[in-house]
């Protein structure tokens, strides 16, 4: 009987997880890393992309610059793979209108790469939403350390 009382006392002192399923693992809500966005002070679609990233849980720091060329060169964006804004997050670049879900996947998988790009400004990508909801098919590309592009995700198919 004494063991029963000791067991009941131990159970009463233990934290309660009544709402968690028996096979539940602990939830880790690690904060997302800071995204630093380099953009022209006059670009409206960049602001919409920033809002998209913030809505997906990213903290964003904005650096306005008149000349994006040196930023793009410094982070290693290959010719013809550029867009209107360049972001840096946790050692990677994110060029253009890359969806936040793809950035989260990049950060989770941590491939050996320079970063992600959506060359140009495809209609329907985050920050380039069309009033009619149309999405132009586009590919998010992973830029490898040697500057080559590989498909990372497709959208609008």
pLDDT digits 0-9 by tens, 35-79: 999 999 988 899 999 999 999 999 999 999 999 999 999 999 998
Least confident of 41-45, 83-87, 116-120, 147-151: 41-45
Tokens standing for 65?
């610059």
CATH 3.40.30.10 fits 32-155, yes or no: yes
> Rounded to whole angstroms, how far apart are CA atoms 103 and 20?
29
Q: Is residue 126 within 8 Å of residue 45, measured between CB atoms?
A: no
Count of CB atoms situated within 10 Å of the CB of 145: 10
Secondary structure (DSSP) of 5-42: HHHHHHHHHSPP-TTS-TTPPPP--PPPPPEEEEE-TT
Domain spans in the chain, listed from the N-terminal domain onward = 32-155
Q: What is the DSSP letter of 80?
A: T
Q: Is the pTM of this model over 0.75?
A: yes
> Rounded to whole angstroms, how far apart are CA atoms 42 and 8?
66
């Amino acid at each position: 009987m004494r063991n029963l009382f000791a067991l009941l006392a131990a159970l009463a002192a233990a934290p309660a997880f009544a709402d968690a399923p028996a096979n539940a693992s602990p939830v880790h809500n690690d904060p997302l890393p800071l995204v630093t966005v380099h953009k022209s002070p006059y670009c409206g679609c960049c602001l919409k992309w920033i809002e998209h990233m913030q809505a997906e849980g990213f903290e964003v720091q904005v650096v306005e610059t008149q000349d994006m060329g040196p930023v793009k060169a410094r982070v290693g964006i290959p010719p013809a793979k550029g867009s209107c804004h360049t972001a840096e997050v946790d050692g990677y670049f994110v060029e253009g209108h890359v969806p936040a879900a793809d950035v989260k996947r990049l950060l989770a998988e941590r491939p050996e790469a320079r970063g992600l790009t959506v060359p140009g400004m495809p209609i329907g990508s985050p920050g380039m939403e069309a009033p009619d909801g149309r999405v132009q098919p586009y590919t998010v590309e992973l830029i490898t350390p040697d500057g080559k592009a590989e498909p990372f995700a497709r959208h609008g198919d």
